[in-house]
Amino acid sequence: MSALLEVRHLRVAFETRRGPLVAVDDISLQIGEGEILGMVGESGAGKSVTGTAILGLLEPPARITAGEILLEGSRIDNLAPEAMRRLRGKRIGAIFQDPLTALDPLFTIGQQLVETILTHDAVGARAARDRALKLLGEVGIPAPEKRLDQYPHQLSGGMRQRVVIALALCAEPRLVIADEPTTALDVSTQAQIIELLKRLARTRGTAVLLITHDMGVIAETADRVAVLYAGRIAEIGPVREIVHAPLHPYTTGLMGAIPKLGALRSRLAQIDGAMPRLDAIPPGCAFHPRCTQRLAQCDREIPRAVAVDGREVACWLHGESSRG
């Protein structure tokens, strides 16, 4: 299988006066055509930084200090800003959390869609408008002709997020980075957006990197999931297996901490403490101070990712010795 997106040993650091703060360290992942890779973690885990790095939108003091990002086999992390700008939108689409700030309040939905289409494709204004109408229909906006001439403030939150998705799809990108696309929405609207993302990946073959803090959204949407902790991937593999039988103690803790319907008030498992700050990431495995199963080497050596049961886990409990 050739991956559409491949990230190899990515490291992103923020340069500060007191030296670099590493926000993302040694992240490697692949996304295939039509596949949805979920990326889950708590605030500060490095999920948005990873998404921003792939989009080439990192701003100083943040920069990629190691690793490579490949889109359809060619490197995109070392492109000139102008080349990257053309690539963005054309081959990589982006959907952000807040649909209101992602849209320009002074232009109608139609104007914004048509402008985006014309930027990326040499088509006539009439054809662009037709494409805009078709896109709005595809993302599930009722009466698209009417919506085309409306302004963002005239639309509800869910409708706005659909427009943002339509905008991201204008140039038929191969890859879509969706950073918390449902977090600002109500559950009933969230369910609709989840369905939409799944349908797009299925019918258009678009690869999706879905970044969210909500394991429930991942479980419903993604094919595979990467669990991030303090800038590193703790565990990556098929969603079903990671949800039902997590191997990394952090994933186990995370799953236990999520209140579930039907659990009838059984006490929530809690992971004591909180994610470390970037300037105080513990040596060895960053999770060791909160881990209940830590071993002697956990506070000294960073565990390497090893393949176990079709997934990769970075934990000394699942190292070479215990693989037997």
Partner 1 sequence: MADVPLLEFADVGRDFDVSQPWLERVLSRLPKQRLVAVDDASFRVARGRTLALVGESGCGKSTVGRLAVGLYKPSRGTVRFDGQPMPSGSGRETMAVRRRMQMIFQDPYASLNPRWKVDDIVAEPLRVQNAAMSETDRAERVAALLRQVGLAPADARKFPHEFSGGQRQRISIARALSSEPEFLVCDEPTSALDVSVQAQVLNLMRDLQDRLGLTYLFISHNLAVVEYVAHDLGVMYLGRLVEVGPATTILKDPAHPYTRMLLAAVPDLAMTGTSRTPVAGEIPSPIDRPSGCAFHPRCPHATERCRVETPVAKPIGDGRVVACHLVGS
Q: Which residues bind partner 1 (CB under 8 A)?
A: 42-43, 156-159, 186-192, 194-195, 213-217, 219-220, 239-240, 243-244, 253-265, 267-272, 274-275
Residue 140 CB, shortest distance to partner 1, in Å, is 10
d(CA 251, CA 233): 11
CB of 183 to partner 1, least distance (A): 10
- Residue 43 Cβ vs partner 1, minimum distance, rounded to whole Å: 6
Number of C-beta neighbours around residue 214 at 10 A: 16
The backbone torsions φ and ψ at residue 140, rounded to the nearest 5 degrees and listed phi first, read 85, 35
Nearest to partner 1 of 149, 186 (CB atom): 186
Contacts 24+ apart (CB under 8 A), 60-63: 60/15, 61/14, 61/15, 61/16, 62/12, 62/13, 62/14, 62/23, 63/12, 63/13, 63/15
Distance, in Å, from the CA atom of 173 to the CA atom of 191, rounded to the nearest integer, reads: 23
Omega of the bond leading into 61 within 30 degrees of 0 (cis): yes
In the block, which residue shows the tokens 């800003």? 81
Query: Rounded CA gap, 275 and 279, in Å?
Result: 12
Nearer to partner 1, 15 or 195 (CB): 195
Q: Which residues of 295-311 are buried (b: 16+ CB within 10 A; e: fewer)?
A: beebeeeebebbebeeb
DSSP letters for 61-74: TEEEEEEEEEETTE
Residue 75 or 244 with smaller CB distance to partner 1: 244
Min CB(63)–partner 1 separation in Å: 27
Measured from the CB atom, the residue of 114 and 239 that comes closer to partner 1 is: 239
**Minimum gap (Å) between residue 193 Cβ and partner 1:** 11
Nearer to partner 1, 47 or 88 (CB): 47
Least gap, CB of 255 to partner 1 (angstroms): 8
Interatomic CA distance for residues 135 and 117, integer angstroms: 11
Residue 195 or 309 with smaller CB distance to partner 1: 195
Q: Are 225 and 218 in contact (CB under 8 A)?
A: yes
The CA-based angle 29-32-36, given to 5 degrees, is 80
Q: Which is nearer to partner 1, 128 or 218 (CB)?
A: 218
In the complex, the smallest distance separating the C-beta of residue 322 from partner 1, rounded to whole angstroms, is 25
State the nearest-atom distance from the C-beta of 270 to partner 1, in Å. Answer: 4
Buried b (16+ CB within 10 A) or exposed e, 49-69: bbbbbbbbebeeebebeebeb
Q: Which is nearer to partner 1, 38 or 110 (CB)?
A: 38
